[in-house]
Each structure stands twice: as structure tokens, then as C-alpha cells.
Structure 1
Amino acid sequence: MIRINFFIRIRTFGTRNLFEKIKFKEWKLIKHHALVLGVDEVFIMELTKYEIQIGFNKTPFKISGIEFRPSHRIKIENAGFTKKISATIQHYKRVFFENIILRSPSIHEIFILNDPKGSEILNKYYSTNIFRCTVDPVYDYEKPDASSMPYWIKRNNRKVVYTIFGALDWRKNIKNIFEAFTLLDKQIHQHIELLIIGKIPEYFADEFELRVNMFIRDNPDIELVLINEFVSDSHMEYYFCNTDVSLVVYPKFYGSSGLLGRAAKYNSISLVPNVGLMAELCEDYKLGYLCDPYSPTDISLKIFKAFNDILNGERIDGTSFYREHSPELFLNQLNF
């Protein structure tokens, strides 16, 4: 008989010193609960956070989980010297930590998302069979009544809705995206709505406010809507079903993103980085356009292409991606 226990972190852990930043407190708590429950295996949804602790520990239970930043995807072929050096450093940093976690005899399976070729590459590189592939599932959530929403998107044929979703820090590429909108022909600004949804971390608040004020000054005719809060899954569903173009043009990002599937579910165009797994998925499933995340000019060009597509009634067809990334398949591949 298989019994599954779910442990959801509700404690707040500080990040004031190195000891806390590398999650020793969290790992100690995970290990404590696993021992108390007498489990045979612990599955960690974000394995990357605990590579050091796992690598230097032997546990009486097996450990499996999901690796969100595998090393094999971190590479840039067509870029300047500085970007190549940065990617190379990131690559070998990830190799270092992968070697650490693979030291542990407790490691059972490491899953990577949406990348079957990647699991083969990693198994060959490390002479192991631990790496597996699973889909990044697209969940279905019930949409709330529009009247209950803090902001109700007024859909009409004059506005193309662009959405930036998630924790609003430097990884969202706010600076370059804002500059990209500023480069657009001013005559189309009145037909654009930019929806930014997510909690702004305290350390980024001042810079974000500065960027927003500059954006409003330079683009007064673009309707900018900022929702500075963590939104529920049902609210996320509402905003994405009313999104025309999803902006996931992340710098220094080489993996997949759940937002790609979220946009595909509603046939919304995605703008993604031109490197890494997300670029391959976007091309293979025809989900949108690839952008150089460091080039406001290139991002602006793709924003304009998506704008014309929407005005001409040309949306992407995300049906195949949505169906092939179901929660049921995700659980089956994890052997749950």
C-alpha cells in the first residue's frame, strides 16, 4: 500500500545570512518530518534549492524531485563575448551543483521539465540513469466572476492586451520591455493595454517605481494597469483568458516556464527568449515569437508583429501543447 503525505511550507524562513540563504533550516525541517512520518521517499518540487544539503547528507529515505535549471541548456551560440562568458559561468556553476547532489546515495530520480532529449544528455554526461523527463503541467482553475476582480479587463476590439505575470523583479526584464514599448509607433499606443501582475519585492520597489514613472511619461497613451499583489490561481486564470500576448522574455533563462502553457491554453501569443528550451518549444508548437531579451529593438519588433496578428484575428493554436501537458500525464510520469 502506498501512502502519500504532502508537506506545504507555511513557515517564513529568513534570508539574512549565508546559512539561511542556502536553505539549511528548511532542509532540517524537511528531514525531520520525513523521519517522523517514516517515509520511504521524499519528493521535492524544487530540488535545486537543496542540492548542497542533499549532496552532503545520507538519509534513510530516498529523495527525488524536479530540477528547474539543468546545466545542459545554459549556452549561447550567437551572442557577444560578454554574454557568452556569462552563460559559460552559469553553465559550470550548475555542473558544479549537479555533481554535488549526485554524490548522495539517497538520490533516486531527478526530473526535468518538457525536455526528453535533455534527460538523455544529462544521463550520458554524468554516466547515470537518474535523470527523467516529465511535462510541465497546465492546470485548470475555475475563473471568478468578473465583478469580484480587483481589476476587470474591459475587452474590446481597440485594445491589444499584453501581460507580464509573476514576481516583479529584474528577471521579468522590465527595463528592456518598457524601452521596447517606447520604440513603437506612437500612433498605435492608444490600442495597447499593458497588464503587469505580481508582487514587487522590497529590494526592487524603488527601481520599479522609477521605471514605471518613466514609462508613463514616455508612453501616456498606453493603458498601464499594475496589480501589485500575489494573485490566486483563479485570478491568474481570469487574467490569462483575457490576455492577447504574454511577455516572458526573461534574460539569463534557459529552461521552460509554466506561463508558456498558461498562454497556450487560451491561444495567446507568447514572446520568449531566443535561447534555451522555451525557444525550442515555442518554435516546435508555433506558440509565438522569439526575442533577444537584451535588445529592446528586437523585443519591440516582435511586440509589433504580435499586435498586427491580434488585429488581423491571427491567434496561435495552443491546443496540442495544452493537451500534451496535462496534470494527469505529469503524475503518471512521476509514477504517482
Structure 2
Amino acid sequence: MRPHLLIFEPDPRGHTCEWIEHLLAAAPTCPERPILSLVVAADLAGLLGDAVARVPAGQVRVVALTDREQALCTHRRLSVSAFSRWWTMRRHLRRTGATGGVFLEFDHLSLPLALGLGTSRPVSGVLFRPSVHYGTFGPDRPTVKERLRDSRKEVLYRLMLANPALRAVLSLDPCFPEFAWQRYRHGEKVAALPDPAFPIPADSPAADPAFMADIPAGRTLFVLFGELTARKGVMPLIEALAMLPADVAGRIAVMIAGRLDPALRPAVQHAAAGLAVARPDIWFRLEDRRLPGEELARLVGRSDVILAPYQRFVGSSGILMWAARTHRPVICQDYGLLGHLTRRHGLGLTADTTDAGALAGAIALAARRGPAALGDPVRMAAFAASHTAEHFALTLLRAALRDPAQAIAHSLSPAPRIASK
């Protein structure tokens, strides 16, 4: 029987549309040639029309979630959204006749799985934020809240991996699978999944977009972009800029581009206005909107240093992929996976970005040394080459279609060895 996967995603924001487009492009080349049922948010279903049209007839089916299903699956209370996603997956597995299901966001599904809830067909999912192994990355002092978080995850992971309904856990953290294999019974269900580098649009505008027109020539351009929430470090960055010495302030330009979280917007706008008065020698701009891919590609191409001053963020980030693809060094948090990848692959500088003084020191060092001294272009290129969209999509499809041992054997990015605890 031809395999049939149900791809489930109720949240239309962020990476999801791009990820599904990657899966649609790879499905016809996958040896098993699976049928894909896309059970997705209605807004997302509308965005996928062109990508679906490029897939051979009969290989893709699109099912839009009802308003009620989407509301429950994206509920603010994580327990509500977790169980809603679980039961919605079960219902659509029956309706579509799929032979397996894939959750594109899996972290909160650990609770229903740990409680032993089952399905008629095996399910897999993409795990974004494992953090129980962060102590293997080097010395760190986790907070009490972080220790409690990881203790809870440790229990949930052990229990969910024992659930026979779970086929594979695809980890965006390349270090977690080896940790799981050594530490957990049924850890062989965990496999590495390369976070795909964003494809740079081929049809970028010939000239800079209007918002970039007044970026001064001769200054080192630092850029922070993406969905700008508190964890992205916008406020600590503005605080750090106010602390820069005069010889650095006069030679840099800083652009923050992306949609600000509405809850954060008043504070950021107030801080930016204060910075303009206190430090007019710093060229600083805030572009508060989500940039189309073409404009973002142009901005990254114009940049000298990419800023990722996350606040003890857990998981990976597409910003590292953008930077590596374009050979732009990053200034990144020293904590967790992001700091580990930055150091391991020569992607730039790491600092305690929760400390505005330390962040200011990293920016000053980058301005004085120059961007070329911050990263290793050869290692950046190798890192980006191992995170292609095709690699991501085929790894996910193979893991969801095969048993865990086969998924590990076919993984193209094996996790590095780490010491067991």
C-alpha cells in the first residue's frame, strides 16, 4: 500500500508555510512517493495553492481546519492546545485514512504522549526546544526556573518515548539525539533534523528598498530581524547601544527590522526615542513590519554583522542559517544551542546578551576588529550546506515513513558524540 502521511499544522505564522513548501517539493522525489494530506489553518491552506499545483495530481490533499479547531489548537493555555492538537490529529487520521501523522510543532505534545494516549496510526513530530542536555555544552549556571523546566522535560521525554503510538521525534537540535540514545530507553526514536536555511529569493529588487535608502555609507551595519518578541533581545540591544563609547558609536549603523510584538511596541518605541536624543552619533532605525523575503534578502546582503541577542533562548534559529548562507558573522547569546553552534561552526561572537554591558562590548569589538575577523567563512559555508531545504524535507519524510533504526541510518546529519551523564 502506498504510504500516506498527514501533515498537521494549525498555526499559520512563522516558518510553517515555507516548511510545507519544502515537503511538497521533496515528496515527488522521495523513493516512497507518499501521499500527503495537509491538515492546516485555513489561512495557510490559501497560501499553499501554487506549491500544491506543482505536485503531481493525486499526491497532495489539503484540508482546512475549522475555526473552532484552529482556535482550540492555538489556545494560549498550553495544556488546552496540546490536547486539542492530539484529538484533532486522531480525528483527521481516521477521516483521511492516512497511515501516519506528523506534527510540525511537537514540543507540547509530549504531555498527551507521556500520559499514554494512543492513535490508530503512528505519529511523529518536530521537536524545537529540548534543553535537558544543555549542561553538556560547557559551564553554565541554570536558574531555578530552568532546572525545574528541564526536570519536567526529563520526565515527559522518558514517558513519551515509551508510548507505542510514537514513531519518531525529529530534533532540530543536532546534539539531542545522541544524548537521548545514551540516556533514555527507546531513545532510538529520536533523530536529527537539519533546520533548513532560508532560500535567498532569486528575484530580489535591483535597488535597495526605500526603508534602506538612508543607511550611511562607510559605517559597519548591524542588523536584527525577524519576529521581534521580548526573547529576541530588542530592549537589551537598545540599552547596550546607549553604553557604546564615542569612537564606536560614530562608525556603526543599526537596523532593527521586523514586526514588533504589540505588547513590546510601546517600550521599544520609547527606548528608541530616548536613544535618538541621548546618542545622536549612533545611526539607528526601526522598521516595524514583517519584511517580504526579497526585502529581507536585500537587507541581509547589505549588512555587515547579524545580531541575535536572544535572552537565554532554547532551541535553534533561522537567523543563524541566514547569516551562514550569506557569510555574515553573528553576535549571539552564549547560552544553549545557539551559542554552541556559533562557537562550533565559526559563525561569529558569543556573549552574555542578558547583560547590556557584555553585549555592548561585543558590538564594540566587532566594530573595531571588522566583520571579517569575527567568523570563519569556510566553516560557515559548510554549516549552511548541511542545512538545505531538500535535506530537511527528505530527512523528515524518511523518518516519518520508516522505523527509527532506518531513520537514523538514513540521517544525513548525525549528532556529534557527547559525554553521557
TM-score (ref. length: structure 1): 0.87
Of 151-160 and 134-143, the range deviating more from structure 2:
151-160
SS in 1 for 2:294: helix
Structure 1 residues 254, 314: CA separation in 2 closer, same or farther (over 3 Å shift)? closer
SS in 1 for 2:264: helix
Tell me the amino acid that sits aligned with residue 334 of structure 1.
L
Structure 1 residues 18, 307: CA separation in 2 closer, same or farther (over 3 Å shift)? same
- Alpha-carbon displacement from aligned partner over 1:131-150 (angstroms, at most 9, x marks no partner): 11121111313153155835
- Alpha-carbon displacement from aligned partner over 1:241-298 (angstroms, at most 9, x marks no partner): 2221111121222432121111011111111121222222212221100101222222
CA distance in 2 between counterparts of 1:174 and 1:258 reads: 17
1:250 aligns with one of 310, 313, 316: 310
CA distance in 2 between counterparts of 1:253 and 1:231 reads: 23
Which residues of 2 match residues 229-244 of structure 1 at below 5 A? Answer: 229-244=289-304
CA distance in 1 between counterparts of 2:127 and 2:184 reads: 15
Structure 1 residues 159, 17: CA separation in 2 closer, same or farther (over 3 Å shift)? closer
1:327 is matched with which residue? 389
2:190 is matched with which residue? 131
How well do the aligned residues superpose, as a CA RMSD in angstroms?
2.8
2:335 is matched with which residue? 275
Structure 1 residues 70, 226: CA separation in 2 closer, same or farther (over 3 Å shift)? same
Residue 236 of structure 1 and its aligned partner are, at CA, apart by 2.6
Tell me the amino acid that sits aligned with residue 122 of structure 2.
K
2:93 aligns with one of 15, 29, 34: 34
1:223 is matched with which residue? 283
| Equivalent pairs, count | 333
Structure 1 residues 215, 41: CA separation in 2 closer, same or farther (over 3 Å shift)? farther
SS in 2 for 1:194: strand
What's the % identity of the aligned pairs? 18
Tell me the amino acid that sits aligned with residue 6 of structure 1.
L
CA distance in 2 between counterparts of 1:17 and 1:257 reads: 22
CA distance in 1 between counterparts of 2:289 and 2:85 reads: 25
Structure 1 residues 307, 34: CA separation in 2 closer, same or farther (over 3 Å shift)? farther
Structure 1 unaligned residues grouped into runs of 5+: none
Residue 21 of structure 1 and its aligned partner are, at CA, apart by 5.4
1:8 is matched with which residue? 40
Residue 319 of structure 1 and its aligned partner are, at CA, apart by 1.3
Of 263-272 and 135-144, the range deviating more from structure 2:
135-144
Structure 1 residues 274, 313: CA separation in 2 closer, same or farther (over 3 Å shift)? closer
Residue 328 of structure 1 and its aligned partner are, at CA, apart by 2.1
CA distance in 2 between counterparts of 1:48 and 1:153 reads: 41
Which residues of 2 match residues 1-336 of structure 1 at below 5 A? Answer: 1=2, 2-9=34-41, 10=43, 13=71, 18=77, 22-56=81-115, 57-75=117-135, 78=139, 83-115=142-174, 117-128=175-186, 129-142=188-201, 143-145=203-205, 149=209, 151-152=211-212, 157-310=217-370, 316-317=376-377, 318-336=380-398
CA distance in 2 between counterparts of 1:19 and 1:84 reads: 22
CA distance in 1 between counterparts of 2:322 and 2:389 reads: 13
Structure 1 residues 280, 62: CA separation in 2 closer, same or farther (over 3 Å shift)? same
Decide whether the 8 Å contact of 2:193 with 2:392 is kept in 1. Answer: yes
CA distance in 1 between counterparts of 2:256 and 2:238 reads: 11
CA distance in 2 between counterparts of 1:92 and 1:189 reads: 44
CA distance in 1 between counterparts of 2:269 and 2:214 reads: 25
Residue 63 of structure 1 and its aligned partner are, at CA, apart by 1.1
TM-score (ref. length: structure 2): 0.71
Decide whether the 8 Å contact of 2:161 with 2:185 is kept in 1. Answer: no
CA distance in 2 between counterparts of 1:235 and 1:20 reads: 38
Of 209-218 and 282-291, the range deviating more from structure 2:
209-218
SS in 2 for 1:140: coil
Structure 1 residues 30, 181: CA separation in 2 closer, same or farther (over 3 Å shift)? same
Residue 90 of structure 1 and its aligned partner are, at CA, apart by 2.6
Tell me the amino acid that sits aligned with residue 97 of structure 2.
G
Residue 333 of structure 1 and its aligned partner are, at CA, apart by 2.4
Structure 2 unaligned residues grouped into runs of 5+: 3-33, 44-66, 399-421
SS in 2 for 1:105: coil
Decide whether the 8 Å contact of 2:205 with 2:295 is kept in 1. Answer: no
